Chains A and B, each alone.
Chain A
């Protein structure tokens, strides 16, 4: 294996381990505020994965939407519902052991399945700026889904406003 391949895989492993560690912290830490901060770390790791997949626009969107909007929204919700999570009771419910067992089986099944399927690599590795192509596709081929998802987002935001209003 040549040197560049070794470096690429090393970078991938570092990013993957950091992402998974942050994800583990998100679901295991008892304090919900700390869990939300670990969630931000996971989002950054996923943005780095997008960059490695040469989807640079998606990486920027991930940082802007997930970290800039969703994570801040979650932090606000944690602060608005604070006070009751200061208690010493555990952060997990009674079924956590069963859930862990079922999920371990699920992951093992997925792992074996992924390793057995002969995946085809047909992508070419020529770098160009793909964002203009993405914009063209969004406003030609995917124009109707684009408009529908805009209306859905508007409806969801108005609904959220009405639900959360006093």
Chain B
């Protein structure tokens, strides 16, 4: 089944998912929605890593580098979500908003 789907399909899917996530991160007002866009981008990168591992590695069974890399990315995404959401909740407590346009204390 695996080699009947060209690698290009996965790459285009990942590129589209990355662009959608980037749009979410750039255009949303709610800080939590911005974090969701970042999660979409991390997922897109993971699809790329796994697809390149499956199609590019000469021995994908013994050489698990792509899966290991994707696992580390998932771990970092979990850490990022925990810290990011903690920051959002802390900001909501002190400023009573999660609108990124109103959180401009450090803006020049």
Residues of A within 8 A of B (CB): 4-5, 8-9, 12, 16, 19-20, 23-24, 26-27, 32, 35-36, 39, 42-43, 46, 49-50, 52-55, 57-58, 61-62, 65-66, 69-70, 73-74, 76-78, 80-81, 84-85, 89-96, 99-100, 103-104, 106-107, 110-111, 114-115, 119-126, 128, 130, 133-134, 137-138, 142, 145, 149, 152-153, 156-157, 159-161, 163-164, 166
Contact = CB atoms under 8 A, between A and B. Distances in A.
A55 B28 contact: no
Contacts of B63: 137
B101 A61 contact: no
Nearest to A39: B36
Nearest to A85: B30
Given A100-B23, A121-B55, A9 B4 contact: yes
A77 B85 contact: yes
Interface in B4-63: 4-13, 15-17, 19-24, 26-30, 32-33, 35-37, 39-40, 43, 46-47, 50-51, 53-63
A157 B3 CA distance: 40
Contacts of B5: 8-9, 12, 52
Give the 3 A-B CB pairs with smallest separation, nearest first: A27-B24, A156-B79, A96-B27
Interface residues of B, number: 82
Contacts of B103: none
A120 B56 contact: yes
20 contacts: A12-B5, A19-B17, A35-B33, A46-B46, A50-B47, A53-B51, A55-B67, A77-B32, A81-B32, A81-B92, A84-B96, A90-B29, A93-B27, A93-B28, A107-B16, A114-B11, A133-B62, A138-B64, A157-B82, A161-B86
A49 B99 contact: no
B13 to A, nearest CB: 5
Given A26-B40, A55-B54, 12 more contacts: A27-B33, A36-B36, A42-B17, A46-B17, A62-B74, A73-B81, A74-B36, A93-B29, A106-B22, A111-B12, A137-B65, A156-B82
